[in-house]
Structure formats: structure tokens, C-alpha cells
Amino acid sequence: MVIEILKYLKARYVSEKAQGIVEYALILAFVAVIAAALFGNDNIEGKIKAVFEHIEKLLGNGKEAATTTPKG
């Protein structure tokens, strides 16, 4: 009985630790992609502005803006 409990606790601890490592790796990958996009693209400001303008149109115009895509 005690061995089963120890096995359960070990499996639970290891799986939670692995999950945390994967989450940190995903966050690090996301930050790396964003950093590469910011530093590797000369016109990132224009593209970000176009995305926000498109979102503004979607929120303001409803169905009309949903058919258009941002330029950039």
C-alpha cells in the first residue's frame, strides 16, 4: 500500500514538473518569435498599425469590415 502511494506521488510530481518545463519552453519560444519579428522586420510598425486599424473597423462596422483584410 505504501509503495503504491509513493509511486502515485512520484508520478504526479514528475508529470507536474514536466508540464511546468513545457510551459516555460512555450513561453520562451513565443518571446523568441516576437523578438525575431520585431528586430528582423523593417516595417513591423506599419503592420502592427494595420492590424489595430483592422480590429477597429471590425468593432466599429460589424459585418462590413469582416470581409476586408488588413494591408501590410
Chain centroid to CA 7: how far? 34
Q: Report pLDDT for 38.
A: 73
Q: Report pLDDT for 70.
A: 58
Cα–Cα distance for residue pair 36/3, rounded to 1 Å: 49
Q: pLDDT averaged over consecutive 10-residue blocks of the chain (72 residues)?
A: 76 72 86 79 76 87 57 56
Q: Report pLDDT for 7.
A: 78
Cα–Cα distance for residue pair 51/62, rounded to 1 Å: 16
Q: Report pLDDT for 5.
A: 77
pTM tops 0.85, yes or no: no
